[in-house]
Amino acid sequence: MPRAKGTEDALEELCRQVDGDRLIAFTKGVSQEVRLSGSDEEKRAFRWLAGRLQEFGANVRLTEHPGYVSWPGPASLEVSGLGSLPCITHAMARPTGGLQAEILDLGAMAPEAVAKVDAAGSIVLLDGVANPARVQAAEAAGASGEIFVSGQERHEMIVSPVWGSPGAADLARLPRTPSVSIDRATARHLRSHLALGPAVATIRTEVETRWRQLPLLEAEIVPTNGAQDFILFSGHVDSWHLGAMDNGSANAVMLEMVRLFAPLRGEFQRGLRVCFWSGHSHGRYAGSSHYADEHFFELRDHCVVHVNVDSPGGQGATDLSHAITSSELWRLGRDSVEAESDVPYIGTPPLRAGDESFLAMGVPALFMEVSEQPPGGEGGSGVSAGGGLGWWWHTPEDTIDKLDPVFLARDARIYLRALHRLLTRPVLPMQAAAAAAEVLQELEAAAGAARGRLDLALPIGLARRLQRRAEAVDALAERLGGASEPQAALVRRVNRRLMGLGRALGQVRYAQVGPTVQDPALAQGLLPGLGRVAELAACPEGAPLIAHLQVDLGRERNRIALALMEALNALR
């Protein structure tokens, strides 16, 4: 299996072919209409994309599947003594013909604190964009409805914590209350009024939530070597309003990757599968989660990496430091980003967000947004690790003029660099030891935080063994990657071990249940099953809750240990 000569020169030539004006033209083509999930307008966009992909020579398949999605309609907010205030409602919020209650202003209170407030029968006023955690907290406090202050603009949101279309057991977790959002200027006006005394709000909302047929578009570039393994490259098509940046520009990047890579299938070590989802914005990732369910075994056996693209090329998007990556792909992410930017790459662990529907089954993730507004600036939405995706994000102002063709081409080249290495390198560009070290670090931190109330010696010992074994595999992979003619059989074995490590660790590294069940769309850290260690440590001495938490966390310790044993076997 000789390594292709001039690989880096060929990559640089590909990068020179990326053109910002062509990407803008692609974006205009897909973002002609508002693309609500399952709408006729969205289906027209899917058909337009399918036509371009066929022109570029990909194997194209356009199908439909059922998805549970929610279209927010008109909303109104009346306040006694003040009158009508402009507002919007949200996907998956409860519709109401007229909810009337006194306003309780909780300001910027964190969800954990909100949940402990006595808000029975009130409509709570909360700073921050509407999201599932804030709605859940308000409902736990007894609130009958919510008014969110979303920032400079009123940002469209979805407020359900259920990831994908809900099963029967998920129905009880859907929001039970109506919610609306107002902007910051309206909130100042409202709070000036509340300073004079109590006020009653009346909320009316229309939200249409039901099953719809959602389009799914797959474009595949099959390698000539007959390899079954593939890189999954995905992004959503549905939009809030015209959605030129979110997610028309991402769809443009996806088209450009197919255009550039289709003639190169003879150089591929593994295939490229490009998936365009519906149900992202209005169904909480209904498209990608359906795909995870229906293609579970194929994905688990043959999907090497999931690369996601969302909202590239925004005006003023100069922060490229926080793009997400699984730890074993961090070096690939860094090299791809820093080749196109002077900004040092830090990286962010995969989030419980976007279309990351494949983490629990052990498919490592690379990227979602690669560029954002600078932190602390005035141009961002503020909803991210950096400065956010522009003040126009999830608003009617997300139009073609919010894109910078130079930045869009830059972001496309970042994806091109990462995908090219994943597709053409005989040895996968992964670092197994980084994944093992990440798990070991989290276990040691949890053991310290538990203050002696949880014995994690077994998984810590296994993680240390795993790290040593992973370092040996990485050293072998490094030698093979540098060889002019690496042994094909040995390369295959190393790649299967790298994939096997991710499969074993994914079910505990990124999931509380896994690998066939989707965790809620709520923030969680690495090894989320140990998330209640802090609660255990905070219990007063002798508290009955200690023993109950030790039962739960002891079972989680065993689940993690089992996954580490599987990982050790994968690297044997």
- The three-state DSSP-derived secondary structure of 92-141 is CCCCEEEEEEEEEEEECCCHHHHCCCCCCCCEEEEECCCCHHHHHHHHHC
pLDDT score recorded for residue 6 = 62
Q: Per mean pLDDT, which range of 98-102, 283-287, 330-334, 487-491 is the poorest?
A: 487-491
pLDDT score recorded for residue 385 = 47
User: How far, in Å, are 32, 407, 430 from residue 231 at the CA level?
Assistant: 29, 25, 13
Query: Is 482's pLDDT higher than 90?
Result: no
Output DSSP code: residue 248: I
Instruction: For residue 227, give the amino acid letter.
Output: A
User: How far, in Å, are 75, 185, 237, 252, 465 from residue 249 at the CA level?
Assistant: 30, 30, 10, 5, 44
pLDDT tens, 322-349? 999 999 999 999 999 999 999 999 999 9
pLDDT score recorded for residue 387 = 64
Question: In angstroms, how far is CA 35 from the centroid of its own chain?
Answer: 20
pLDDT score recorded for residue 486 = 76
Over residues 397-408, mean pLDDT: 98
Query: Is 428's pLDDT higher than 70?
Result: yes
Query: Is 457's pLDDT higher than 50?
Result: yes
pLDDT score recorded for residue 379 = 61
Instruction: For residue 121, give the amino acid letter.
Output: G
pLDDT score recorded for residue 8 = 83
Structure tokens that stand for 90 in this block: 């949200």
Q: Could you tell me the maximum CA-CA distance found in the chain, to the nearest angstrom?
A: 80
Pick the more confident residue, 262 or 386.
262
pLDDT score recorded for residue 519 = 94
Dist. CA 271–CA 303, nearest whole Å: 9
Query: Is 2's pLDDT higher than 50?
Result: no
Q: How many of the other CB atoms lie within 10 Å of CB of 3?
A: 16
Query: Is 367's pLDDT higher than 60?
Result: yes
Over residues 270-293, mean pLDDT: 98
pLDDT score recorded for residue 378 = 60
3-state helix, strand, coil in the chain (%, to 5): 45, 20, 40
Query: Is 3's pLDDT higher than 50?
Result: no
Q: How many residues does the chain have?
A: 572
DSSP lists the bridge partners of residue 234 as 275, 308
Query: Is 88's pLDDT higher than 60?
Result: yes
Dist. CA 463–CA 77, nearest whole Å: 54
Q: CB of 439 within 8 A of CB of 532?
A: no
pLDDT tens, 293-325? 999 999 999 999 999 999 999 999 999 999 999
Contacts for 259 with CB less than 8 Å, ≥ 6 apart: 56
- Whether the link from the prior residue into 349 is cis, omega within 30° of 0, is no
Pick the more confident residue, 468 or 10.
468
Q: How many of the other CB atoms lie within 10 Å of CB of 209?
A: 20
- Whether the link from the prior residue into 247 is cis, omega within 30° of 0, is yes
Contacts for 244 with CB less than 8 Å, ≥ 6 apart: 27, 28, 31, 398, 399, 400, 402, 403
